[in-house]
Structure 1
Amino acid sequence: MPIKIPNNLPATNILESENIFVMDTDRAYKQDIRPLKILIVNLMPVKSITETQLLRLLGNSPIQVEVDFIYTESYVPQHTSQDYLTEFYGTFAEVRHKKYDGLIITGAPVEQMDFEDVAYWDEICEIMEWSKSHAYSTFHICWGAQAGLYYHYGIKKHAVSPKIFGVYKHHLSVEHEKLFRGFDDEFYVPHSRHTEVRKEDIEKVEALTILSEAEGAAGVYAIANLAKRQFFITGHAEYDPLTLKGEYDRDVKAGMKIEIPQNYYPNDDPTKQPVMKWRSVANLLFANWLNYYVYQETPYNLDELYAANDYMYYI
């Protein structure tokens, strides 16, 4: 089934070249199918790159998906033009009256700042509070995961050195978890961050369950609340094959002290083509979330949902 996106979104050409079935707004209106409504809070600097990464995965599903993008009003992005934002994005004020099957909060390049020092922190807090009654399931990624754990459960992030940077081996911490249905016993996911949340802090919160962990420095990977309505993912399964290379080359060019991404280049040789080990992981992760925790749970009429089930957030 297709993913419904705004007319003329630049990601369309890339996705179509990869045989991802996309449908523009005009065509979707002619179909008598209620798509899943997903809101993406895109906090990454170059919006189009993150759009393509996420849409590629959301579109690899038999479920029709309708996506809205928003950016923060309290901090206007510096690497995406206002014309682009005006055409393809909205603001929280423009969507706050709506209800969504799912919400995705992306990572952001602000992890070394205290949460309260981030220019748009108050706005993100408002969105996360709003999500309790307006989004059935919320999927937090990297900094978004750290922000969600801090806001909802008071779990702090901690600086690490050196940077957690590379492709790490992971395993499941619980059995028969639907989010990881079809995963191998061991699987690989990229990480790129200067901070971490600690296992011992998460285990003190009875409302949270650790679903997956990585070997070595990457630590805890996936956390869920008991109602399985909030997921916190510390890595970047959505990354393209060359995303880590781009970050590494950028930092080397800037003269920054940066280690070669772990388990990424053959023989740790950055002159060689990186090996992608997480493509199937990414597709399964997002397909499972959409199917088992969004599509299978939300009613046809979203307005009927929250009067009956809002309490589930507070279990």
Structure 2
Amino acid sequence: MKQAVATIVKPLPDHLFRVRGPNAEMRWEAMAGQGYHTPNDRFFVRNHTSTPLIDAAVWRLRVHGAGVRWPREFGYEELRAMPSRTLDVAIECAGNGRRFYGTQQDEPVPGTQWGLGGIGVARWRGVPLKYLLKQVGLLPEAVDVLATGLDAPFEDYGHVRRPLPVGKAMKDVLLAYEMNGERLPPDHGFPVRLVVPGWVGIASIKWLGELEVATEELRTPWNTVFYPDITTQPVKSAFELPWNARLPIGGLYVLRGRSWSGQGRIVRVEVSLDGGETWRPAEHRGQRLARAWLPWHISWAPRRTGPVVLMARATDETGATQPLSTPRHPFGYRFDAVVRHPIQLVNG
């Protein structure tokens, strides 16, 4: 299968992204006025190496292993002809929020120093993995499904690959070939990627080339060395504002943001406009039942100039609420503390 490579294919203008090595973090102000979904042109990019450009006409998905009766390969048009499902799902990097361990808690950790922009919500369309596994005769003794990507090998670890338990694979996972009503863009996994609702982004393998169904638990560098014991994401919140935004006093603002959790729906959001001294419930409507994230807003008419710290904390349906600080993770994963968002109020 012939393929070319580029670090990231799509444009990365400064007003939409912060470029972090082979990765691109979305600026949260880029979501202002964008509706529920993250547009493809501003969806964050997390690459281990470079974006491959794959010819769908010769691409094949190999499905094999001791856990299936009839191993076989599937072509792109074959998948597109299968029954499809459409889901609104968040994809979030496991290290989203990592930089706040250092800047907010004075406990720096190594790795890409993501703010909160390593997340996006898209409307994904594709074939339920459950349907595909039934076509190859999934055996009762199957345990894990190992997904492998077609991007270049990462250092000495080989191709990016990570197993999913069969129970999760048969529940709600998609083999996605469309993103927000368009053909999957190269940076986001064309021709086909996994979309694993609620789980860390590494589970949603891009540029999918192989599925091995095993009858025993599998181990790869991506569930032992890099992301051990990391599955679902915790609760987080972000304002749709630039960091250190300058806002003139004297007017009425509607501050907007979004909260999300890999564990379940968001049921409550509170906002502080004074660095945590007082809290007010945020207003929201329309998307409360969505699993992906909950947009919210709050009105504010500031009267004094000077620095202000905005804070937002959310609670999901499991009862998990964002804490004011969170225990340091050695790899910088699962930062869920309330983020202190600085702004400056100025004369108009």
TM-score by length of structure 2 reads 0.26
- Greater C-alpha radius of gyration: 2
Higher helix share: 1
TM-score by length of structure 1 reads 0.28
